[in-house]
A and B are shown apart, each in its own frame.
Chain A
């Protein structure tokens, strides 16, 4: 039961003032600008855009500043802002095959058309603190080489040619949108992918890891991981044709998974898919693994009762804003609820004679 309480306005105002002061920190230290956050904490900005479901690096950077670096709080701010925007329409599905790749690697094929491009990765760095960064320092410019002009086709396309992997055939069904209609079960793959791309990175990583450790194991290889920019095209009703309205950076992960075949399908490889706003590699790989685990039913696999196979469990708990809202509300006043619980416990103790026993002991 919820009961309104009054009072505390002055305390709340003062708490806000102190919060603002703490956010600023020591005023003898230079203040962070939104542009500095956007440029220098870009992976945090990317996470806020992905989980906030809104691609706008400046807004995400502002949210991070306002939230004092608490990314879930920043995501909350972005989600709230997003609801105030009128929606002009939906884009044409982006063509990730035409991505201008900053990074593109495959764990399944060494030599592939377009080549392996490492990009700006942490992968081969020593995980040792670099004390040079603690002092201001100029960064040497990254080397360049003549850029390739050849196409960078999807790796799964090669396997497709031999029929060794299930196909992902185009389809133009308008997808459901969980930001417009409540999430309902059973959720089709389009709805699951939307929920996963905005899901909490930590939760999705944990579930993905559980599938690797044996809870719904499906032997994933990263067929391809690519990061880069794609143009976004939208049909403009008053013009009658589509134009590019901008471009977004995306991370795409396609996994290739073992599949022993079913009554209707011969043995072949199956696919898991991850596509996330920004450079968000860990999240995209996690998404692909969880997507694949959730596909057990359509692939005719056994449900082994693993958490990552349970669409209802995964989708209803993956959203960190829903989760944090419900979790954190329990710290707000529940005086009446607690009062009734207190009465109940006292009554039960009286009935059990607990107080008598205590008296006797004294």
Chain B
């Protein structure tokens, strides 16, 4: 049974949001929200890759398109919660901050982190996306058919 990110699992949503944050952004928001809690590494940040797949014809059989760089780590807070991070690029500091947020979202600090880190990140990403979509919309072609006269 495989869930996809579209289903309503809040952890999938925040982990995806963290993975797409721009460099340094998670750490900045986290440090502005609270003092970082103590933790121990379960898996120190490591850089690797993921093979990205596509489908023939967009919908057919899968094929290997090429890899992308990914940084991952896992840690446990002193209070026992485990945080994971898998984020695009080679960004060990960002992975650490993302895993801390993942762990903190399982503690009583969840509402505070949601308001101070996740909500601003979601708003920034939505604004970036909307700005790009707006430029694309301005290049949309408006065809009009010339009326062909009878005489």
Assuming A119-B139, A243-B5, is B65 touching A238 (CB within 8 A)? no
Contact of B57 (CB < 8 Å), options: A90, A177, A271: A271
Main secondary structure of the interface of A (DSSP, over half): mixed
Cβ contact within 8 Å between B50 and A234: yes
Cβ contact within 8 Å between B132 and A102: yes
A101-130 CB mask vs B (1 if < 8 Å, else 0) is: 111000000110001111110000000000
A178-206 CB mask vs B (1 if < 8 Å, else 0) is: 11000000000111011001100000000
Main secondary structure of the interface of B (DSSP, over half): mixed
CA distance A102 to B72 in the complex (A): 30
Report the count of interface residues on A (CB-CB < 8 A): 85
B64-75 CB mask vs A (1 if < 8 Å, else 0) is: 111111101010
List chain B residues, Cβ under 8 A from A17. Answer: none
List chain A residues, Cβ under 8 A from B140. Answer: 115-118, 145, 148
Does any Cβ of A come within 8 Å of B131's Cβ?
yes
Cβ contact within 8 Å between A54 and B66: yes
A50-92 CB mask vs B (1 if < 8 Å, else 0) is: 1001111011000000000000000000000010011111111
CA distance A174 to B55 in the complex (A): 11
Contact of A85 (CB < 8 Å), options: B12, B69, B132: B69
Does any Cβ of A come within 8 Å of B118's Cβ?
no
Contact of B138 (CB < 8 Å), options: A142, A248, A271: A142
Does any Cβ of B come within 8 Å of A360's Cβ?
no
A289-313 CB mask vs B (1 if < 8 Å, else 0) is: 0000000000000000000000000
CA distance A245 to B67 in the complex (A): 12
In this complex, the member of B62, B65, B131 whose beta carbon has the largest number of chain A beta carbons within 10 angstroms is B65
Does any Cβ of B come within 8 Å of A355's Cβ?
no
Cβ contact within 8 Å between A244 and B5: yes
Cβ contact within 8 Å between B89 and A147: no
CA distance A165 to B66 in the complex (A): 28
B125-147 CB mask vs A (1 if < 8 Å, else 0) is: 00001111111111111010000
Cβ contact within 8 Å between A55 and B67: yes
Cβ contact within 8 Å between B67 and A96: no
Cβ contact within 8 Å between A171 and B61: yes
Contact of A103 (CB < 8 Å), options: B52, B64, B136: B136
List chain A residues, Cβ under 8 A from B63. Answer: 175, 189-191, 193-194
Assuming A86-B46, A246-B88, A277-B66, is B143 touching A111 (CB within 8 A)? yes
Chain A: minimal CB distance from B75 (Å): 13
Assuming A193-B56, A236-B86, is B62 touching A89 (CB within 8 A)? no
Q: Which 6 A-B pairs have the closest CB atoms?
A: A246-B88, A168-B57, A168-B60, A144-B134, A244-B16, A147-B133
- Extra 4 A-B pairs, beta carbons < 8 Å, given A88-B72, A89-B51, A144-B137: A55-B52, A88-B70, A231-B5, A245-B16
